[in-house]
A and B are shown apart, each in its own frame.
Chain A
Amino acid sequence: MNTPIRRLAFVLLAVLGLIVLDLTYLQVIAGPRYRDDLRNPRLAASRSSTERGPIVSREGIVLAESTAEPGSGQTFVRSYPEGPAYAHTVGYTSLLFGNSGLERQYAGELSSDSDLTISGIIDTLLGREQGAQGIRLTLSHPLQQTAQQTLGDQTGAVVAIEPSTGEVLALYSSPSFDPGVLLGESPIAGDALAADPGVPLLNRSIDQILAPGSAFKVITAAAALESGAANPDTLYSDPLELQLPGSTAVIRNADRGPCAEGTEVALATAFRLSCNTVFGQIGIDVGAEAIGSTAEAFGFNSEIPFDLDVVPSVFPTGSLIEDPPATAQSAIGQRDVQATPLQLAMVAATVANGGVVVRPYLVSERFDRDLNILSQTNPVELRRAVSPGTAAVLAELMEAVVESGTGQAARIEGVSVGGKTGTAEIPGEAPHAWFIGFAQSEERSVAVAVVVENGGNAGQAATGGTVAAPIARAVMQAWIES
């Protein structure tokens, strides 16, 4: 009987040995990976015992700061003085809920723990600054406040970009939340936020893609112009409804009538009045491949390089190539075409910038405790999306929209404003109201994208021109006049 008992002992001890090996792997070899996992609440806990650098707006308004807790030299409390206005962008560092936004992406720069890496030791020996760094954002406080006030309690998002540099001037998502409530020891407030049916934790400016509706016609027009098949004066037939080839489906205009007189209409007029019949036809003429490659040149179907993770916008070229009816519907921004507000703001910015796509960014500089600038972000041109000529024509087309078309609510006296409205039909729900555009004065320029989901307060009656354009106007004006 001793032999089996010996073997049994051997098996149990061998498994215990295996456990020691696994422990060595988990605690030492893979340990740093688990320790630094962003979901590990200890990260936030360890940071609360070290000072963290401030986050300030473009103007220097404090958006996040650490203050020493009275009576203890060891614990620092993070606070977010501007609360909901910057909640999604600045994010939070919470013991219970982890971290998000720039607080997460710049966790390393913001925390002051001088670690024992070789470079850390060398820096310490050389007396280099090891303290918490601060970061300055490109976000402008008046724009951010305007976005918050004009959206009000409507669900949606506002993005504003400086077209030539890519500085993001406003990035706001509504409904928002107060990141301060996530900092406490109790999970109740945070759980309530997570369960809120309005999904306030979702950053609608970059984390959600929606049908862009007619705002997408900027890209369809760009593809038509770039292909050389059309110019603003090219005439298209003006039917009451566009019969889609090989299909019983039709495309109608928003008012169920013809685009103009019902005979022939120029591309410029169709763009100004946002005629679906004409742009459906242009979509069929130009083809999914050309529209797709133009959309991709603007940034669709790939990840936008940004300080925060952005959901890629979608133009499903592959599934449209053999399908002219679907191509026609995609050309007017319906069906499976979906975009983030940031992506559409970049489209407007690219037009205003002469056709060159510039990398958007949020962090303009990092500074140390003594406010010495440690690094600055330089604008980066990513690629040319359309030729300077096409960009100029698109700008003119968009200016006509604001001057005498669907986007007149965005007009600002004495300033050159261009734009495109969008009213994305959602089956069974009120439409999403969009406005993308730009404003340029002698000194300043700005590009924006505004979306108000499901029509906002206007509900079924909402259009991009009535609901989103006034918000865009207010935001653009805040920048031009500041």
Chain B
Amino acid sequence: MSRNAEAALLAGAAVLAALGVSIVRAAGGDTPDAQTALTFLVVGLAFGSLHLAFRQWAPNASSYLLPLAALITAVGLVEIFRLDPRAATLQRWWLLIAAGFGIATLAVLGRFGTDLLLRYRYLFLTAALVTFMLPLLPSNWALGGVEVNGSRLWLQLRLFDTTIVRFQPAEFGKLLLVVFLASYLASRQPALVSMTRKVGPIVIPEPRQLFPLVVAWAASFIVLVYQRDLGASLLLLAVFASMLYAASGRVAYPLVGGGMFLAGTLAAAQMFDHVQRRFDAWLRPWDDFADTGFQIGQSLFALGSGSLTGSGLGLGRPDVIPSATTDFVFAAVAEETGLAGSVAIVAAYALLVAVGFGIALQARDPYRKLLAAGLTTVIGIQTILIVGGVIRLLPLTGIALPFMSYGGSALVANVIAVVVLARISHEVST
């Protein structure tokens, strides 16, 4: 597929977003207004400029990445607009900011190549750890942490008693960690593969080589405990385990990591009420429908009410689902577009994941393979965790659905992830 086809598809995504906003307006009995034009312009401008940046700094990159991201972003913007037009306005700004960060990232990588990231391995590790800890800053500082819904994930910049901006540093921390792990694991790969020690019938690698796994487990558990965020810690562990497996080919890593995490989670469920409540809501939502089961119950009602073809944009009641623009945006889309829409969205994510792993398979060295696989895993696992949570396949974890949930930090981080993937795919053929 050529860059021109990519441009055409991106224009299609902008038209889709504008059309969706018009339909929402029409469903409310209004005629299309400036919102339609603004949506078209912002989606067009953001992805159009990213497209031009691709032409400049990654001309041979896969041309599937941007259209898929644009499609999902467009659907998300429409649903956010339908639920909360004010949030949609903010999200449009965030999309422009995300495009700006994406272009800047691509410009830097285009100038120095992806090897740049390889060079400052431990800088990235330090940066990652710092970003995870940032929300623990005292909340009365100008730059301090804030607790929202019982989770301390947010960092806010306050000047003169006005909140200038709020964001979740962990969204960027994930990417920094993936970069570190890719370069670290790529250099240690032979050691990880050789299982030299025997404990009874089980062969294990040098204990020294297990060190990253222990760090991974500890880091994810610390996040779970101190920031009360089951989702982020699950995601971290899954990404660690996946990348270790990709680097070593040893199933033992994900198995042991998963087992340790399971033990940690079960212990946490005993110790912390909010984790216990998540499990109750997952396993027995109808027992305490008025309280713990309310969210997931509303989500299931939305899915069931959507049926095959949905209520139509603007004609359902996704507004009765709590957190409909963020955690439950998928349920809102599934209600209004039905199974047809929800499966299309899952298919779009599946394609994005497939393209990402395709890039990893073709990448020219272990470092790039691991980086591509890691970034793809971040996007894939987040999708699985939150969509699985919303449809009660998994316990609900408050994680943003990539490109779709309302939220600026996640959007910026995901655009950067896609841009890095694009650059890796460009470097295959250079």
> Which residues of A are interface residues toward B (Cβ below 8 A)?
1-9, 12-13, 15-20, 22-24, 26-28, 30-35, 37, 39-42, 45
Contact = CB atoms under 8 A, between A and B. Distances in A.
11 contacts: A1-B189, A1-B246, A2-B361, A8-B377, A12-B380, A16-B383, A27-B304, A32-B304, A32-B307, A37-B301, A40-B301
Given A4-B246, A9-B354, A23 B303 contact: yes
Nearest to B185: A1
Contacts of B349: 16
Given A8-B242, A22-B391, A26-B300, A42 B346 contact: no
B246 A16 contact: no
Contacts of A41: 301, 317, 320
A3 B297 CA distance: 40
Contacts of A40: 301, 304-305
Contacts of B320: 41-42
Given A5-B361, A16-B384, A28 B339 contact: yes
Given A1-B246, A31-B303, A13 B354 contact: yes
Interface of B: 189, 242, 245-249, 289, 297, 300-301, 303-308, 316-317, 320, 334, 338-339, 342-343, 346-347, 349-350, 353-354, 357, 360-361, 366, 369-370, 373, 376-377, 380-381, 383-384, 387-388, 391, 393
A20 B343 contact: yes
Contacts of A37: 301, 304
Of B304, B384, B393, most A-chain CB atoms within 10 Å = B304
B108 to A, nearest CB: 26
Given A31-B307, A42-B305, A19 B388 contact: yes
B247 A23 contact: no
Given A19-B388, A42-B317, A27 B249 contact: no
A35 B357 contact: no
Contacts of B245: 4, 7-8
A15 B383 CA distance: 10
Given A5-B246, A5-B369, A6-B361, A23 B304 contact: no
A70 B377 CA distance: 55
B342 A23 contact: yes
A33 B304 contact: yes
A193 to B, nearest CB: 14
B384 A12 contact: yes
B338 A19 contact: no
Nearest to B293: A39
A42 B376 CA distance: 37
A277 B227 CA distance: 67
A9 B353 contact: yes
A22 B304 CA distance: 12
A200 B339 CA distance: 42
B297 A22 contact: no
A1 B366 contact: yes
Nearest to B310: A27
A18 B393 contact: yes
Contacts of A12: 353, 357, 377, 380-381, 384
Contacts of B297: 39
B304 A31 contact: yes
A33 B300 CA distance: 10
A2 B357 CA distance: 10
A23 to B, nearest CB: 5
Contact of B307 (A1, A9, A19, A27): A27
Contact of A8 (B334, B339, B373, B383): B373
Contact of B339 (A2, A27, A35): A27
Nearest to B248: A4
Contacts of B301: 34-35, 37, 39-42
Contacts of A1: 189, 246-247, 249, 366, 369-370
Contacts of A33: 304
A285 to B, nearest CB: 46
B339 A24 contact: yes
Contacts of A23: 303, 334, 339, 342-343, 346, 391
A26 B343 CA distance: 12
Contacts of A5: 246, 357, 360-361, 369, 373
A34 B393 contact: no
A9 B352 CA distance: 11
Contacts of B387: 19
A26 B248 CA distance: 38
Nearest to B339: A27
Contacts of B339: 23-24, 27-28
A32 B307 CA distance: 8
A26 B339 CA distance: 9
A31 B361 CA distance: 40
A5 B339 CA distance: 30
Nearest to A6: B361
Contacts of B246: 1, 4-5, 8
